[in-house]
A and B are shown apart, each in its own frame.
Chain A
Amino acid sequence: GESVGLHLPTLSVQEGDNSIINCAYSNSASDYFIWYKQESGKGPQFIIDIRSNMDKRQGQRVTVLLNKTVKHLSLQIAATQPGDSAVYFCAGPHTGFQKLVFGTGTRLLVSP
């Protein structure tokens, strides 16, 4: 079946560095992806999305890159801040059905 997953369970960075969080997917027909941020004890918060007709999309301090050839997307956070510490996960569509499949998440730890 379809899968959406993340490469690393934990990523540690220093404050001010750029962070890159990766996600791989298996369904080549997937045409839409979302990145979420989840802080402890809270629900996932929408960060940014991207459709398959784009390779790159930028938001405030965040950039998502989509490589359809290798079925990989990444979330880049510029000038990482302590408030960025959270679990980040990607989501993509499930083939033949109107629902999303969620990855397991990468925990981003930002140290001062």
Chain B
Amino acid sequence: DGGITQSPKYLFRKEGQNVTLSCEQNLNHDAMYWYRQDPGQGLRLIYYSQIVNDFQKGDIAEGYSVSREKKESFPLTVTSAQKNPTAFYLCASSISSHSNQPQHFGDGTRLSIL
């Protein structure tokens, strides 16, 4: 079945540690996105990629990094510079980056601090 796979489902980070969240899609979508979801807030855009080998910062990119070496994959690294990383992280993809296209989401990774 086509879809978006995020792993791991749960992740724990120690102080000073970088962690990487995986996102893979087999929908042949050009655009991919990373969002952060906190209780009582709407989704906030961290990074997005319109096409392979290209990505741009979203609204809250500080303390995060991404790469887009393959069309199917868009991993997110939460660096030690992100002082409040505890959140639910969602990856999404869409056929193109035009805002008149639906984004389809994975089932998220919940990141917590040890």
Q: Which residues of A contact B (CB under 8 A)?
A: 4, 31-32, 34, 36, 41-46, 49, 51, 89, 91, 93-94, 97-105
Contacts and interface: CB of A to CB of B under 8 A. Distances in A.
B98 A98 contact: yes
Most buried by A among B98, B99, B105, B107: B99
Given A43-B108, A45-B105, A89-B42, A100 B90 contact: no
Contacts of A97: 99
Best-surrounded residue of A4, A45, A98 (most CB of chain B within 10 A): A98
Interface of B: 4, 6, 33, 35, 40-43, 45, 48, 50, 58, 90, 92, 97-100, 102-108, 110
Contacts of A51: 100
B42 A102 contact: yes
25 contacts: A4-B42, A31-B100, A34-B103, A36-B105, A41-B107, A41-B108, A41-B110, A42-B107, A42-B108, A43-B90, A43-B107, A43-B108, A44-B105, A46-B102, A89-B42, A91-B103, A98-B97, A98-B98, A98-B99, A99-B33, A99-B45, A99-B48, A99-B58, A100-B103, A103-B42
A101 B100 contact: no
B42 A32 contact: no
A97 B50 CA distance: 12
Given A43-B90, A105-B42, A100 B99 contact: yes
Contact of A46 (B41, B99, B100, B104): B104
